[in-house]
Amino acid sequence: MSTATPPAIRTTTVGSYSQIDWLLQSSGTEQSVLDATTVVIDAQRRAGIDLPTDGELYRFDPSHPDTNGMIEFFTSQLGGIDSQVGVSDAHRFREKHDFSWRQKPAGVVREALSEGTLDLTAACARSKSVAGGPLKFTLTSPYMLARTLLDDHYGDFDSLCLAIGQTLAEQVSDLDCDCVQIDEANIPGSPEGAPVAAAAMNLILDRINVEKAVHFCFGNYGGQTIQSGEWATLVEFLNSLHTDHLVLELAHRPANDLEALRDIDPRIKLGIGVIDIKVNHIESPFEVAKRLEHAAQVLGVERIGWAHPDCGFWMLKRSIAERKIDALVKGRDLFLGGN
């Protein structure tokens, strides 16, 4: 086991990875998914990423490419949710939600939630078996999942959201990985939901026994931002999370967004998005280093624990994603070498 001191700022990816062409053309067997996961993790390790993710390839659903399976992987397996959505269900969902990116619910909650067939421990163990080193495992936040469901059981959104949080919390304590990350792309545009979102996330965070991370972005639909908002409205919410570090979209954001993060509780390390995944432009190491330098000037270098892309790579070609992660590591090294 390596005893080398980790760099002051570690690099990681956010979760999803570019699709592997031959995996899409295969029958999606357990072995082919495992082989593709090996390819994705190895690509990150070769680039020098300190904490790779598994690419979430086993979650991708070609029938729901708009969300890369990060919704349906959970809602289709949790007990109590009916994935057979009728015309009237879709109509009722549209009456309640104004989602330009979703015309029908991911499912209808018919009865109390249970684990169903969802097995996060097995999913994590499968990726860990080919990781060859540290690994981060991701799951979608209760708030984001609840927003995509039509509730015919709990009767109010908060109860549904907390029920999802409790159900997921029951599966996270034994995950064999080095970090567990919760992903949320709705709250940045819906800060009014912050109290229940925090309560549901903390149910999960309190049960995690390794490094805890929460990722926030403003959505990514075909390279478009789908949530309006700013970090300044979320500081109190972010401080209420029982997390070790935050993974924040910042490369695709206005430069002054960093200012609000000065008020984040010092107990929470900050992860700085320095790679823009909404564009095909390949950042140079110099660009990455300058983004980290700006963040250090605004926040103090001691506050920054992580450098990463803004979000997952699933909408980008592998050739682009892999050059971006190469620039991420080289840019981090360039910044640290000058400090």
- Output the pLDDT for position 298: 96
For residues 124 and 175, the answer to whether their CB atoms sit within 8 Å is yes
H or E segment to which residue 259 belongs: helix 257-260
* Measured distance CA(328)–CA(318) in Å, rounded: 15
- Output the pLDDT for position 27: 73
- Output the pLDDT for position 5: 81
The low-confidence residues of the chain, meaning pLDDT below 50, are 1-2
CATH number listed for the domain at residues 10-337: 3.20.20.210
Q: Which residue has the tokens 């927003």?
A: 147
- Output the pLDDT for position 1: 41
- Between strands 79-82 and 107-114, the pairing is antiparallel
For residues 305 and 271, the answer to whether their CB atoms sit within 8 Å is yes
Backbone angles phi, psi at 60, to 5 degrees: -65, 135
- Output the pLDDT for position 63: 62
For residues 104 and 89, the answer to whether their CB atoms sit within 8 Å is yes
- Output the pLDDT for position 93: 87
pTM exceeds cut of 0.85: yes
* Domain chopping of the chain, boundaries: 10-337
Q: Tens digits of per-residue pLDDT, 258-290?
A: 999 999 999 999 999 999 998 999 999 999 999
Q: How far from 228 is each of 117, 186, 225, 257, CA to CA, in Å? A: 35, 10, 8, 13
Backbone angles phi, psi at 259, to 5 degrees: -55, -45
- Output the pLDDT for position 201: 98
